[in-house]
Amino acid sequence: MTAVIFDILMAIVGWIFTIHKIQAVRLRHDRPVFCTWLFALLFAIGTTLRITYVHAAVDALVGIPNIAWLMSYTLLSAAMYAVASGCYAMVQSKDSWWLKPGLATVLSALAIIYLLGIANTPSHPDYSIPRNISEVLFMSFFYAYLALTLKVVVTTSTHLSRHEENPRHRFRWQLLASACWAGIIFCISRTVFVTLMHFCPHLPGLHVIGLIESISVIISALLWPLYAVSNKIYAVSSSVSKFVAQAITLHNLDLVQGRIARFYPKLKKSTPAYWKCLLDLDFRIYQTVISILDGHVSLKRCLLLAEEGADDLATPFWYDDSQLHAEVWHLLRTLDKAILDVPYEDLVEFLGNRKNLSELLPNLEINPR
């Protein structure tokens, strides 16, 4: 029953994706968009035929056993060819030499295996467990071709994500690549599982392969529909992630500022209400970085005056404490390295990175600000 529900949900997602992309095909007459829509259409029909009640009805209507199984695999193979061809078009490249011959080979193999070994066997509701060697080969050819075409999508998505400057679009490509990696794992584990299930059904650990197969297909099924999500939703999620990242950065900058203020109490450190900080994180980050730069210069000047033997009143409280003195020197050297000819954005990233706090703030828990 779970498999039936899963097939129904995948078919619904496929049809929604198909309808969603119709407008894009009408407005944009380019190959990648058409290939994406064609993939969605073929995927929707193919997954619909995988539903137990549908393929039973199709078999009964046509009068040929397991014909819906052949139709489903044929349509899904063609769908993966379409999406792989669209990927090559996205990077303005010709289709790989093996793509069309590969599709022709897998479709021919499916047809021959079906005619010789499956067409004469009675229909059965569960196509996940092979009953004979013909069904093992039938599944293996199909999933091997799926894995090869998914690798094309992974390569293209990874390439586009690395060269994409828009974070929302980059995240979209990364999601698609992750979904396809999960799909590749599913295809490999599925092929191994059906082969071992036929030849070694009582092999210890076979259930582990089945578990890997189930987890990978669920991950893939959850991730790939997000590729078609509207840009507005990605904009909202991107804004939320940016807000969280800025809040963490401001917190880390406050730690650095607090450590400088500990050694140089004259440092101006504004502490508005927390909710006010959240209302304008960009300004608060800028204000805190300027305060850190000012404190860095002032603390260095204070140290130099003390070393030159200036007036005793100018001697800071930490000068005669060897541990605190060493901390000041370490803090100044680290800040010098971070500030020297570094753009503002990189400076914020360095100072606001949690990984650098252990270097900037040694003994943070021993000497809290």
Taking the C-alpha atoms of 248, 177, 88 and 35 in order, what is their torsion angle to the nearest 10 degrees? -100
Nearest to 324 by CA among 351, 302, 291, 339: 302
pTM reported for the whole predicted model: 0.68
CB of 295 closer than 8 Å to CB of 332: no
CB of 170 closer than 8 Å to CB of 161: yes
CA atoms within 13 A on the CB side of 46: 18
Q: What's the CA gap between 26 and 40, in Å, rounded? A: 15
pLDDT of residue 169: 80
pLDDT of residue 230: 67
Amino acid at 124: H
CB of 329 closer than 8 Å to CB of 306: no
Amino acid at 226: L
pLDDT in tens, the chain (369 residues): 577 888 899 999 999 989 988 888 888 778 888 998 999 999 999 999 999 889 889 999 999 999 999 999 999 999 999 999 999 988 878 888 899 999 999 999 999 999 998 988 888 766 778 888 999 999 999 999 999 999 999 999 999 988 888 777 888 888 899 999 999 999 999 999 999 988 888 888 888 998 999 999 999 988 887 777 766 776 777 778 778 887 887 887 788 788 778 777 777 666 666 666 767 777 788 788 888 878 778 777 777 777 666 555 456 666 666 777 777 777 777 777 666 555 666 666 666 665 555 555 554 333 333
